[in-house]
């Protein structure tokens, strides 16, 4: 396991910032599992934090496959920023309760 350099956001324990993005420029990733703030009526997965947006975009760029992980509550929520388009996502990992909500998106 590797930990990127950068600033730790206390709210969700993520690592963000220029140092993180610069580090990610130097790696190639097989699979990215991307968290999201929400999926409701969006053009792709979203996030609330502008600080996280750059790191998420860089991970997507550097990954061969990208999966979004979202529990059923995320199908009823939406973040402020769209991270990427659905065309850039290879799949969604979710819980059983999401089955009905997926049909409505």
Asked if residue 53 belongs to a domain, the reply is yes
pLDDT, tens digit, 9 for 90 and up, residues 37-96? 999 999 999 999 999 999 999 999 999 999 999 999 999 999 999 999 999 999 999 987
Task: Give the domain extent around 15.
Answer: 11-100
Q: CA-to-CA distance for 1 and 49, rounded, in angstroms?
A: 24
Asked if residue 55 belongs to a domain, the reply is yes
Asked if residue 2 belongs to a domain, the reply is no
Asked if residue 56 belongs to a domain, the reply is yes
Asked if residue 105 belongs to a domain, the reply is no
Q: CA-to-CA distance for 92 and 69, rounded, in angstroms?
A: 6
Taking a C-beta distance cutoff of 8 angstroms, is the pair 70, 95 a contact? no
This prediction's pTM? 0.85
Supply the CATH number for residue 53's domain: 3.40.50.1360
Asked if residue 72 belongs to a domain, the reply is yes
Tally of structural domains, the chain = 1
H/E element, 17: none
């Amino acid at each position: 396991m590797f930990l990127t350099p950068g600033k730790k956001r206390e709210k969700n324990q993520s690592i963000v910032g220029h140092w993180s993005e610069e580090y990610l420029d130097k790696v190639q990733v097989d699979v990215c599992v991307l968290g999201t703030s929400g999926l409701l009526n969006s053009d792709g997965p979203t996030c609330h934090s502008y600080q996280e947006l750059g790191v998420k975009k860089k991970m997507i760029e550097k990954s061969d496959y990208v999966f979004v992980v979202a529990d059923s509550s995320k199908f009823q929520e939406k973040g402020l920023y769209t991270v990427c388009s659905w065309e850039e996502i290879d799949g969604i990992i979710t819980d059983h309760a999401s089955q009905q909500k997926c049909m409505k998106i």
